[in-house]
Structure 1
Amino acid sequence: MSKYFHVSSFVALALMTSTHAAANSHDESSIKRGKYVMDIGGCVSCHTDKKNKGKHLAGGVGLHTPFGTFYTPNITPDEKYGIGTWTTEQFIEAMTQGVAPDGSHYFPAFPYTSYAKMTRQDLVDLKTYLDTVEPVAKAAPDHDVSFPFNVREGMMVWKALFFDDSPFKPDPSKSEKWNRGAYLVNGPSHCIECHSPRNFMGGLDTDNLLTGEPKSPKGEKIPSLLNSDGSAFSKWSHSDTVFGLQMGMTPDGDFLGGSMGKVIANTTGKMTEEDLKAIATYLGKPDKKKTAASKIEKSQSGS
Structure 2
Amino acid sequence: MRFSKLAKAAVLVAIVAGTAAFVLTMPSRIPASALSPRSADLANGETMFNIGGCSSCHATPHQGDRTRLGGGLALATPFGTFKAPNISPDPTHGIGAWSEADFVNAMKKGIGRNGEHLYPAFPYTSYQRMRLADVRDLYAYLKTLPPVETPSQPHDLAFPFTVRRGLGLWQLLYVDGKAFAPDDSRDAVWNRGAYLVEGPGHCAECHSPRNLIGGIEANRRFAGGPDPTGKGWVPNITPGPGGIADYSVKDIAYLLETGFTPGFDSVGSSMADVVKNTSKLSAEDRLAIATYIKSLPPRSGKAPPKGPKTD
Tell me the TM-score range normalised by the shorter chain: 0.7 to 0.9
- Deviation (angstroms), 1:94: 0.7
1:80 maps onto 2:92 in alignment: yes
Alpha-carbon distance in structure 2 between the residues aligned to 1:241 and 1:183: 17
Q: 1:116-135 alignment to 2 at 5 Å?
A: 116-135=128-147
- Deviation (angstroms), 1:78: 1.1
Match of 1:204 in 2: 216
Q: Is the 8 A contact 2:206 2:234 kept in 1?
A: yes
State, as a whole percentage, how many aligned pairs show the same letter: 43
1:278 maps onto 2:288 in alignment: yes
110-119 vs 76-85, which moves further: 76-85
Q: 1:161-172 alignment to 2 at 5 Å?
A: 161-172=173-184
Match of 2:82 in 1: 70
Task: Choose from 156, 172, 185 the match for 1:173.
Answer: 185
Q: 1:10-159 alignment to 2 at 5 Å?
A: 30-51=41-62, 56-159=68-171
Amino acid at match of 2:47: Y
162-171 vs 105-114, which moves further: 162-171
Q: Is the 8 A contact 2:211 2:217 kept in 1?
A: yes
- What is the CA RMSD across the aligned residues, in angstroms? 2.0
Alpha-carbon distance in structure 2 between the residues aligned to 1:177 and 1:52: 36
Secondary structure of the equivalent of 1:174? coil
Q: Is the 8 A contact 1:81 1:138 kept in 2?
A: yes
Alpha-carbon distance in structure 2 between the residues aligned to 1:158 and 1:230: 31
Q: Is the 8 A contact 1:63 1:69 kept in 2?
A: yes
Task: Choose from 257, 279, 291 the match for 1:246.
Answer: 257
Secondary structure of the equivalent of 1:69? strand
- Deviation (angstroms), 1:252: 1.3
- Deviation (angstroms), 1:230: 4.2
Alpha-carbon distance in structure 2 between the residues aligned to 1:176 and 1:52: 38
- Alignment deviations for residues 157-201 of structure 1 (CA, whole Å, 9 cap, x no partner): 111122232111001111111111110111001001000110011
29-38 vs 62-71, which moves further: 29-38
Alpha-carbon distance in structure 2 between the residues aligned to 1:120 and 1:142: 29
Runs of at least 5 residues in structure 1 that lack an aligned partner in the other structure? 1-26, 287-303
Alpha-carbon distance in structure 2 between the residues aligned to 1:264 and 1:32: 19
Runs of at least 5 residues in structure 2 that lack an aligned partner in the other structure? 1-37, 297-311
Q: Is the 8 A contact 1:69 1:143 kept in 2?
A: yes
- Alignment deviations for residues 123-162 of structure 1 (CA, whole Å, 9 cap, x no partner): 1111111111111121111000111112110100111122
Q: Is the 8 A contact 1:61 1:71 kept in 2?
A: yes
Alpha-carbon distance in structure 1 between the residues aligned to 2:228 and 2:166: 23
Alpha-carbon distance in structure 1 between the residues aligned to 2:242 and 2:265: 19
Secondary structure of the equivalent of 2:238? coil
Q: Is the 8 A contact 1:241 1:285 kept in 2?
A: no
1:186 maps onto 2:184 in alignment: no
Structure whose CA Rg is larger: 1
Secondary structure of the equivalent of 2:189? helix
Secondary structure of the equivalent of 1:235? coil
Secondary structure of the equivalent of 1:70? strand
Alpha-carbon distance in structure 2 between the residues aligned to 1:275 and 1:230: 26
Alpha-carbon distance in structure 2 between the residues aligned to 1:215 and 1:43: 19
Alpha-carbon distance in structure 2 between the residues aligned to 1:285 and 1:154: 37
Match of 1:295 in 2: none
Secondary structure of the equivalent of 1:270? coil
- Alignment deviations for residues 109-130 of structure 1 (CA, whole Å, 9 cap, x no partner): 0001100011111111111111
- Deviation (angstroms), 1:217: 1.7
Q: Is the 8 A contact 1:238 1:285 kept in 2?
A: no
Secondary structure of the equivalent of 1:283? helix
Secondary structure of the equivalent of 1:108? coil
- Deviation (angstroms), 1:28: 9.0
Match of 1:21 in 2: none
Structure 1 residues 176 and 53, CA, compared in 2 at 3 Å: closer, same or farther? closer
Secondary structure of the equivalent of 1:64? strand
Alpha-carbon distance in structure 2 between the residues aligned to 1:29 and 1:127: 9
Give TM-score, length-normalised by structure 2. Answer: 0.79
Q: Is the 8 A contact 2:40 2:136 kept in 1?
A: no
- Deviation (angstroms), 1:81: 0.8
Secondary structure of the equivalent of 1:254? coil
Q: Is the 8 A contact 2:78 2:228 kept in 1?
A: no
188-197 vs 162-171, which moves further: 162-171
